[in-house]
Amino acid sequence: MRGLVVARFAVGASLAAASGGLLLALWVAANARGASGWAAAGFAAMAVPSVAFGAWLAAELGRPGVRFLAALVGGIATRFALTAVAGFGAARAGGDARGAALAGVVAGFLPVFVFEMVWLTRTSAALARRAETHG
């Protein structure tokens, strides 16, 4: 059962990331073609760990122990580190690279974050209802 929950989360989060990637691709085509690599780096720095650590969060939701907190902190730390690497690289490159990397970070973060918050809120509420009826 838990595997199905995690799979559903991963699929939904991946679709959310893909929607951000599509919007980013459209923006890059219109505004920053020469910096598409930096846009992709910023996007990957956010989207990949967001989906991966979000799936871990989904797996740990409702379980006792500190693994949920470890998944949360690990995801945040990984996103910070990868975003810093992409951001510093784009800053060194200059020009359109900075804006493209920032656009990539936003496109990789925002749709997945919104999906994650809605999913976690709905799933937490379902777990609470289940505990009330079985408790």
pLDDT of amino acid 33: 85
pLDDT tens for the chain, residues 1 to 135: 678 889 999 999 999 999 999 999 999 999 988 899 999 999 999 999 999 999 999 998 878 889 999 999 999 999 999 999 999 999 999 989 999 999 999 999 999 999 999 998 888 777 777 777 765
Whether pTM > 0.85 for this model: the answer is: yes
CA–CA gap between residue 82 and residue 5 (Å, rounded): 27
Element at 81 (helix H, strand E): helix 67-93
Token readout for 9 is 């989360």
Q: Judge contact between 27 and 99, C-beta under 8 A.
A: no
- CA separation for the pair 21, 28 (Å, rounded): 10
